[in-house]
Amino acid sequence: MPFLLYTGISAYVPLFLLIIAGIGLGFLLANLSVILGPSRPGIKKGLTYESGMDPVGTGHERFSVKFYLVAMLFILFDIEVVFMYPWAVQFRQLTQEFGMFPFWEMITFVLILFVGYIYMYKKGGLRWA
Amino acid sequence: MVSLESLIVLLPLLGAVIIGLGGLANAAFRKQEGLIGWLASAMVLIPFGIVLTRFFGYQNMPLSFSLFSWMQAGGLDISFSYKLDDLSLPMMLVVTGVGALIHIYSIGYMHKDPGFYKFFAYLNLFIFAMSNLIMADNLVVMFLGWEGVGLCSYLLIGFWYTDMIKAEAAQKAFIVNRIGDFAMLVAMFLIYQMFGTLDFSLINAEAANPVAEAAGNRYFWITLLVFVAATGKSAQIPLFTWLPDAMAGPTPVSALIHAATMVTAGIYLIVRLNPLFLASPEVLMVIVVIAALTSVMAALTAIAQNDIKKVLAYSTVSQLGFMFMALGAGAFTTAIFHVITHAFFKACLFLGSGSVIHAMEHAHAAEDPQDIRTMGNLGKDMKSTSLTFWISTLAIAGIPGLAGFFSKDEILSSLFFNGFENQVYFAVWAVGLFTAILTAFYMTRLAWLTFNGKARYKTGAHIHESAPLMTIPLWILAVLAVLGGYIGLPYLIGHGEFHLFNHWLGDLVVNRDLHHALEEHAVFEYLLLALAFIVSIGTVLFARNLYSKHDLAADDKVKGFFGKFYGVMAGKFFWDELYDTILVRPFAWIGSKLLRPFESDGVDGIVTGAGSAVAGIGEVFRRLQSGLVSNYMVLISGGVLLVLTYLIFG
Amino acid sequence: MNSFPFSIAELALSSQYVLPLLILLGAGLLLMLLDAFGAAKFLPWVAGAAFLLSAGVAWTQGAPAGRLAFFGMMETGGIAPIVHAFLCLSGLLTLFFLSDYLDRHDRHISDVYALLVFAVLGMSLMANAHDLIMTFIGLETMSMCLYIFAALFKTELKSNEAGLKYFLLGSFASAFLLYGIALIYGITGTTNFSLLASPERIEIIQSQQTVFYVGAGMLLVGLLFKVSAFPFHFWTPDVYEGTPTPLAGFMATGSKMATFVALGTLMHQLDMFQNTKLLSVVGLASLLTMIYGNIVASRQQNIKRMLAYSSIAHSGYVLLGLCASQSGMEAMLFYMFIYTLMNIGAFGMLGMVEHDYPDTELENWRGMGQKAPLFAVAFSLFLFSLAGIPPLAGFMGKYEIFIAVIREGLLLPAIVGILASIVGVYYYLRVIVVMFFSKSGETSALLPSASRIPLAGAAILVVLVLVLGIFPSLILNPITQALSGLSQATAVLP
């Protein structure tokens, strides 16, 4: 089917196949142990796993909003690092082409991030109390 | 750039700005009644002087002047450009002349009113808007004036309103006018689409082009819409109900805006676009029928009213009907002729009634200073007012020799001679004649019950004649009401040779050609004239005798004559009730029933739920879960589905 | 080995043209730092200066169309500078009313200035995007800031509700937008406007009609949501009501202008959007929007909600203008500029007195005309202008739109539009009636803000609304000039 190779949406058929395969594999692996493994449930086994400790209180406890704030900040700064990977991988090639420009460009980016960090810090985003 | 002519437009605006801002900013300025009043008057008198010199120096060459270019968009260049031509010159004379007189009169009338400065600022603004309307060279500037006069009228009607219910009456005037404006805007855009221009002279040139005429009734919708717009501004069926309500404004306003100038804007506009109308006889037919109905209905209503200003208001509606009848007969110059004579005598009547109300109020002579049942024999103490009021009454009644006679006779005769082409016009003529009789009757009743007969106001009340500041304008207008008609002598005197006004307008405004009918049936000219003589004099004498004999009790005779129908007349033909049933209530129903689900405003929920900020967050989520946001999402998704379905399958 | 399709020289050149954007970015960062180090006093002034500078640079930079920057992602020529300047102006005008409003409500939220600058930056990115990805990024940058604006008074229930609603529904709509972009990318393999306009891509689209329609439809929906067109408008009144009033004015003007420009660019630059079906979707949405907005607005008892519904109605007029090709674009820009002036004026003045009556109920405005005559006159001017009464600027805006529509021969829609706008007069008028023609009840003790800055802002806006009604060419001419260079996306990728 040569038409699959170029135009339009049909070019994505392999991608769809890949997605389906991925989801299928995930399901398969997750459930394989249930299907293959022996199943002998008991009270101890049914307990929530808390690193070996007996669980205390209910599972529906409210968390302080601070948790979410920190989590959010973590994700923010964590995600930005993603941009550095391709940059780092390509860095040698980039400098050959453009000199020090790619370097300064990333410095600018990090500086902008840094402003964000200062802002967060001074505004008390990390202060727990 | 600033030519002398441009002062005609700019001075009133300047006056309005100075007086308005000065009054707003400075409390001491507000007290300077003399300064404010005479400044405002000067801002109208000077333009009047300029128009007068241009009028007498007129060389049949329109004077154009332009202030600046307003906007250019896609090859359409709209400027603030004006034209003083055959048509706008006489109209401007009336507007600035009568306007100046009414300004001067108001200095006396509005004495010690807390809103004195506001009143004059509005009046000047009105003159500015009216000048724009009349002198405009293109439809957009005309529309600017058109809206402007409506706005000023609205501001002035509401001038003394302090409570909500009456304010809504003022609002009604504005809303009704907006219906007219809608028609106007659509007509304007249709004209643009058809002619590619909004310039009056270009439109008219194109329309008068015989090649274009051959294309049949292309102008049907344009002319019909212009007429609808005109019914709004000039108070014809079905948009006339605001005018009687507008009488709540100060009396000089009634005289200036609701009798002499603004309400004639619709007539002026139709005359301005006369080539279009001449080319659409169907619309002329519509106009003449509507006008006849309006005219007779208003006249019948006027007979059964007791408020001096209400009678005059209905009389105005009726007289405007006459003007429209002239338009419907294709007698455009005649309509303008009547506009001018009517401006004289109706302004005089209104100012006279103002003088009466003023006197009644000051003497605390009655509960309601406008009710003619509590007046009577005021002429004894108010010689000038009484005399000028009577002169104008006779003029409007069509007594030969006075202004109203000439213009009204011309209207009736043009209707009659149109009848030879189309029999409908005979019927309209008959209605017009009947209305003329009614007019003579109710005006005589009004004048008699006010100024003559027995005094019915509180005994001991001292009625005083108004100050000269008010009576002098009355006399000037009364003189004009006598002499104003001689600019247009009937056709049979020298075959129209001596109709100065027709000659004046002749180049610009083309009437339907009745020359043939007039020559062929010349004998009817004499008959009509004789009829006009008999009818007007006869009715006035009859009414005078009736009321002098029975005084107020004569109304019972009238009531007996009309029988059950009198209730309809007194109830103003129940137009307000009709509108309430067919317009207001359905709208309210649509609003309350049909749109309710769409509004889905969360206000109520929030107000009740906003007990405390602590409970707040939970409340928000509760409300979210109770489906509001998800409802919105469902609705949005529905919209998306509709869009996509249409795009894919439509 | 040149594996990168651009050069340093190009980059340097484009950075010169994106200077206005860089100014905003720098100012935003500076504001964050200043705020962090407690210099809250200077923030409004810094933000204002940044807006002025950025707008000034953009305005003087006017350029031929098709001058692209950022490797074809951004348009910096044609109407871009003007649009950027207009957007900066909407931010600047909002500033006039904002700090006073926050002070009065005793909420000294200094973060708001940086957000305002970033919001304008996002708007500019979206409006002047030359790539669907950029449109999306701009839209999201803008929206993030607007979500925060809606929820700015975080301890207030209404504000909470507004923020949450806006966020949920906004993300919902953004998702549609993104799907749309993805589908278009899916069939054409590009998101760049120049490439999308190329003949090969158009051919592809014609062979893939269905997918294209789904993509374009979703794209439209995402944008129509932002301009609160029917039936994607439901969030508008609730959100505006909870948003601090000056910022609600900003939302109703700046974000809409940006979205309209983006929509207009799509519809007029890309041939594939010059499609009868897509146009009729926009046209129909426009008609329903103005009918709905005007009718529902006339039933509101709360001035702020009335203004919210009125902003829906105004979106309807502008959408109608968008259906009318090039001259429609011109009318749209002009209208949005005028609308920015009068609407920020109306919202700002509302905010000035709102502190005394936080519910902004119409009832409480009785007798305003006696208590604070100048204030009432100025507010009435804005309302009259919104209603389209000549000779105020609002009339000129409507006139331009309707003339453009009629020139396209769309007579019936124009008539519906005129009718709807006539209905609209009623509810503006009602406010004026309440202010002037009613005895002041005992409950009302309304006096306008004594603070000079918002009063100065209002005064400037009043003058502009008056002057532009009489001299519209001051703004129309630059717009026409900028547009005349922009007939098609003539630029090619480097």
Residue B175 with chain C: CB contacts under 8 Å: 425-426
How does residue B349 score in pLDDT terms, banded at 50, 70 and 90?
very high
Residue C111 with chain A: CB contacts under 8 Å: 123
Nearest alpha-carbon partner for C393 in C428, C349, C341: C341
Task: List the chains bordering chain A where 3 or more Cβ pairs fall under 8 Å.
Answer: C
The secondary element (H helix, E strand) that includes residue C47 is helix C43-60
Q: Write out pLDDT tens, residues A51-62.
A: 777 777 776 777
Tell me the residue type at B251.
T
SS3 label, residue B113: coil
- Whether pLDDT at A13 is above 50: yes
Residue A12 with chain C: CB contacts under 8 Å: 186
What is the percentage of chain B residues whose pLDDT exceeds 90? 31
d(CA C31, CA C156): 26
Burial class (CB in 10 A: 0-12, 13-18, 19+), A86: exposed
Between B280 and C274, the more confident residue is B280
CB contact set of B495 (below 8 Å; sequence gap of 6+): none
What is the least distance, in Å, from the CA of A98 to any CA of chain C?
7
> Where along chain B do its domains lie?
160-574, 600-649
CB contact under 8 A, C418 and B182: yes
Nearest alpha-carbon partner for B123 in B159, B85, B152: B152
Nearest alpha-carbon partner for C335 in C351, C318, C360: C318
User: Strand pairing partners for B371?
Assistant: B307
Is residue B432 within 8 A of residue B411, CB to CB? The reply is: yes
Residue C436 with chain B: CB contacts under 8 Å: 158
Is residue C431 within 8 A of residue C365, CB to CB? The reply is: yes
Tell me the residue type at B220.
F
- pLDDT confidence of residue C421: 86
Residue written as token pair 């005559």: C373
Is C214 touching A (CB cutoff 8 A)? no
Question: Average pLDDT in the B561-571 region?
Answer: 84
- pLDDT confidence of residue B30: 82
- Up-side HSE of residue B307: CA atoms within 13 Å toward CB? 14
Strands annotated E in C74-122: 74-75
Nearest-by-CA chain C residue for A122: C36
- pLDDT confidence of residue B61: 81
Nearest-by-CA chain B residue for C164: B620
CB contact under 8 A, C207 and A112: no
d(CA C252, CA B395): 59
Per DSSP bridges, beta strands B63-73 and B76-84 are: antiparallel
Residue written as token pair 């009204």: B408
Chains B and C share 3 or more Cβ pairs within 8 Å = yes
- pLDDT confidence of residue C443: 44
Nearest alpha-carbon partner for B63 in B51, B75, B76, B80: B51
Per DSSP bridges, beta strands C74-75 and C68-69 are: antiparallel
CB atoms inside a 10 Å sphere around CB B589: 10
Is residue B249 within 8 A of residue B160, CB to CB? The reply is: yes
Is B639 touching C (CB cutoff 8 A)? yes
Structure tokens belonging to residue C335: 């209208």
User: Strand pairing partners for B63?
Assistant: B84
- Whether pLDDT at B28 is above 60: yes
Task: Kindly give the parts of chain C with pLDDT less than 50.
Answer: 1-4, 442-446, 487-494
Is residue C435 within 8 A of residue C451, CB to CB? The reply is: no
Dihedral of the CA atoms C99, C100, C104, C107 (nearest 10)?
0
Helices B139-157 & B265-272 angle (0-180, nearest 10): 170
Question: Average pLDDT in the B364-370 region?
Answer: 81
Task: List the chains bordering chain C where 3 or more Cβ pairs fall under 8 Å.
Answer: A, B
CB atoms inside a 10 Å sphere around CB B557: 13
CB contact under 8 A, C204 and A8: yes
Structure tokens belonging to residue C446: 């309304």
d(CA C489, CA C483): 12
Q: Considering only the C-alpha atoms of chain C, give the largest distance between any 2 of them, rounded to a whole number of Å.
A: 82
What are the start-end ranges of the H helices in C356-472? Answer: 368-371, 373-387, 393-407, 411-436, 452-470
Residue B74 with chain C: CB contacts under 8 Å: 327, 403-404, 407
Structure tokens belonging to residue B99: 């306007």
- pLDDT confidence of residue C174: 94
Question: Average pLDDT in the B608-630 region?
Answer: 46
Is residue C320 within 8 A of residue C413, CB to CB? The reply is: yes
CB contact under 8 A, C390 and B144: yes
Question: Average pLDDT in the A27-48 region?
Answer: 82
Task: Dump the DSSP string for B454-513.
Answer: ---SPTT----PPPHHHHHHHHHHHHHHHHGGGGS--TTTTTTTT-HHHHHHTTT-----
Q: What is the CA radius of gyration of chain C?
A: 22
d(CA A2, CA C408): 46
Domains in chain A (CATH in brackets) are 2-122 (1.20.58)
- pLDDT confidence of residue B446: 92
Please list, residue by residue across C39-50, b when 16 or more beta carbons sit within 10 angstroms of its beta carbon and e when fewer do.
eeeebbebbbeb
- pLDDT confidence of residue B508: 77
- pLDDT confidence of residue C375: 84
- pLDDT confidence of residue B265: 92
Per DSSP bridges, beta strands B76-84 and C68-69 are: unpaired
Burial class (CB in 10 A: 0-12, 13-18, 19+), B57: exposed
How does residue B77 score in pLDDT terms, banded at 50, 70 and 90?
confident
- pLDDT confidence of residue C318: 93
Phi, psi (5° rounding) for residue C74? -125, 145
- pLDDT confidence of residue C123: 96
Q: Write out pLDDT tens, residues B417-449.
A: 888 888 889 999 999 999 999 999 999 999 999
Burial class (CB in 10 A: 0-12, 13-18, 19+), B74: middle
- pLDDT confidence of residue B492: 66
- pLDDT confidence of residue A3: 41
SS3 label, residue C29: helix
d(CA B512, CA B497): 17
Tell me the residue type at B621.
F
Q: What is the CA radius of gyration of chain A?
A: 25
- Whether pLDDT at B609 is above 80: no
Question: Average pLDDT in the B374-382 region?
Answer: 85
Q: Write out pLDDT tens, residues A62-118.
A: 777 788 888 888 888 888 888 888 999 988 888 888 788 888 889 989 999 999 999
Is B619 touching C (CB cutoff 8 A)? yes
Please list, residue by residue across B577-587, b when 16 or more beta carbons sit within 10 angstroms of its beta carbon and e when fewer do.
eeeeeeeeeee
Is residue B224 within 8 A of residue B236, CB to CB? The reply is: no
What ipTM describes this predicted complex?
A: 0.85
Statement: the pTM of the whole predicted model exceeds 0.95: no
- Whether pLDDT at B295 is above 60: yes
